[in-house]
Amino acid sequence: MTLLIGIDVGTTNIKAVLYDPSCGTVCATASQPMITHHLGAGWSEFHPDEIWNAVNGVVREVAGATAQGSVAAIAVASMGEAGLPLGNRQQPLYPFIAWYDPRTEGLDRWWAEHYDPRRLYEITGQALRHTYGLNKLLWLREHRPTMYQELTYWLSVEDYVLWRLTGRFVTDYSVASRTMAFDQRARTWSSEVLAHVDVPVEIWPTALPSGSAVGTLTQAAAADTGLDTSTIAVTGGHDHLCGALAAGLLTPDSILDSTGTAEIVLTLSTEYRPSERLRTAGLSCYHYVAQGLYLVQGGFITAGGSLAWLVKLLSGLAGNNQRAEATANGDYETLLAEAADVPPGSRGLLWLPHFMGSGSPESDPHSRAALLGLTIAHTRGEMVRSLLEALCYWLRQNVELLEEELGKEVHEIIVIGGATKAGLWTQLKADVTTRPVRVPDLSQATATGAALLAGVGAGVFADEAAAVDTLAVPSNVYPSDPTDAEQYATLYHDLYLPLYPLLKETSHKLVTMAQIL
């Protein structure tokens, strides 16, 4: 029996699955929380040893469901922009700076002033943001110069885990892309971009396609994980993309929406197609985890995160203690049930859900959230439903942009992620976008996608399509309700789309004022 392990190193949890290709099912799953160290000024970090210990824990747990030696390969999916500096003795010099950490804010403006953003987008496919791995490296150079002088390697999260597994410095094209230092056409690190900021090419790991064999496990890694030294470690990819692969996204006529703390909407192309409109809308273009395909991706940093915030607020909770989290989880179901009883339009409430900027397509980091129409007669359920409706308007905006810019017609939206547990939210996505929504029954889509890539790298599957074909996964389809869709179309065009232009100047003034006070 040949089995495969996929690892998902995510923002909230580190997970693993044990996949059996012979029956197309996941045999075992395991999860441990990602330990996040929250510092002052909103800074957040991950400690590398804590990540490795959690990886060992989940791998040991799923591997315990089978005989030693039957795991043929293991692959890693991970968050994208977090980065770790290694020193000349291969020791971590500083913790992983979380992908969403604000300490690099302002570097996006620096790039805009010192390097042609259009040229940067043409090379890397990444619209300017402060979050990319290269910007974290530049921050380290400026603020921790002694550490920077010792630096010999810069590793993203996937790269770090692969190094601990094999002793080799390797990444995949998709995670490499999230550094903003990777040349999409040359499929290697951009000497032009790196020379502009005087960063050596040699510190970056070797970039390979997703599903490439890296090597077998070292004796130390085998002892830590409970696997055999014959197990092959394989490149996985950016977490959302591995989830998209498991959901069956292999052709350009569908769109995938991955909603957790953040939300990602993406579609595929057989060509690398950066354009000026995509750049100004803040959409990224880069390598997919299936060879020969590229993706175009928009994003929103606070989708599920904004809903979690509102649930805690309306439940009278504060802080991040475990008791508050448990109570909020209980109230989550209650509030969604209340929201389900509210009619479309939430009785005159309308959110602009820009809690941490707009995301795509406005790509405005200084836009701020607003709730309009609120009266003392409104209820908790109406506030929650209105927020969900607004998040679905955001999705529709991005779907329409992708269709128009890429010249395609989207026939369905595939939805994965933790938010699929909220049936109301999923139905609203279908009603607001006017397209059927398909939800594959994948509880661990990202880790499962990594397991499929492990099979490709080990030669268990001929290619990614053959790997996906082995999955025995049913789907739930949410058709769009014509009556509700008509009402939402009016609300979307007449109220939601004009809202950002109306509030843009005020939002920017508020941000400036907050910085002064």
Going from the C-alpha of 211 to that of each of 102, 230, 285, the distances in angstroms are 32, 17, 20
pLDDT (average), residues 454-482: 95
User: What is the per-residue pLDDT for 330?
Assistant: 58
46-64: pLDDT as tens digits? 999 999 999 999 999 999 8
Q: Is 60 exceeded by the pLDDT of residue 225?
A: yes
What pLDDT score was predicted for residue 317? Answer: 56
Predicted confidence at residue 514, as pLDDT, reads 86
**Average pLDDT value for residue range 328-346:** 88
pLDDT per position as a tens digit, 281-309? 999 999 999 999 999 999 998 899 999 99
Alpha carbon of residue 229 to chain centroid: 31
Digit-coded pLDDT (tens) for 183-217? 999 999 999 999 999 999 999 999 999 999 999 99
Average pLDDT (235-251) is 94
Does the N-terminal peptide bond of residue 436 adopt cis geometry, omega within 30 degrees of 0?
A: no
Model confidence at 153: pLDDT above 50 = yes
Euclidean distance between CA atoms 488 and 481, whole angstroms: 10
State the average pLDDT over residues 435-447. 92
Residue 322 has pLDDT above 70, yes or no: no
Give the mean model confidence (pLDDT) for residues 421-449: 94
Rounded to whole angstroms, the Cα distance separating 370 from 386 reads 12
- CATH topology for 3-237 is Nucleotidyltransferase; domain 5 (3.30.420)
Instruction: Give ranges for CATH 3.30.420.40 in the chain.
Output: 3-237, 304-407+417-435+481-516
What pLDDT sits at residue 443? 83
Instruction: Select the more confidently predicted residue: 127 or 515.
Output: 127
> Average per-residue pLDDT in the chain?
93
Whether the pLDDT of residue 113 is over 80: the answer is yes
Bridge partners (DSSP) of residue 215 are 233
User: What is the model's pLDDT at position 114?
Assistant: 96
Confidence at 329, pLDDT banded by 50, 70, 90: low
Residue 310 has pLDDT above 60, yes or no: yes
State mean pLDDT over 303-318. 86
Q: 3-class SS at 58?
A: helix
CB atoms within 10 A of CB 453: 34
Contacts of 174 (CB under 8 A, 6+ apart): 80, 210, 237, 238, 241, 286, 287, 288, 289
Please state the rounded mean pLDDT for residues 339-365: 95
State mean pLDDT over 457-467: 97
Fold of 304-407+417-435+481-516: Nucleotidyltransferase; domain 5 (3.30.420)
Q: How far apart, in Å, are the Cα atoms of 452 and each of 16, 60, 351? A: 13, 19, 39
Share of the chain above pLDDT 90, in %: 84
pLDDT of residue 324: 45
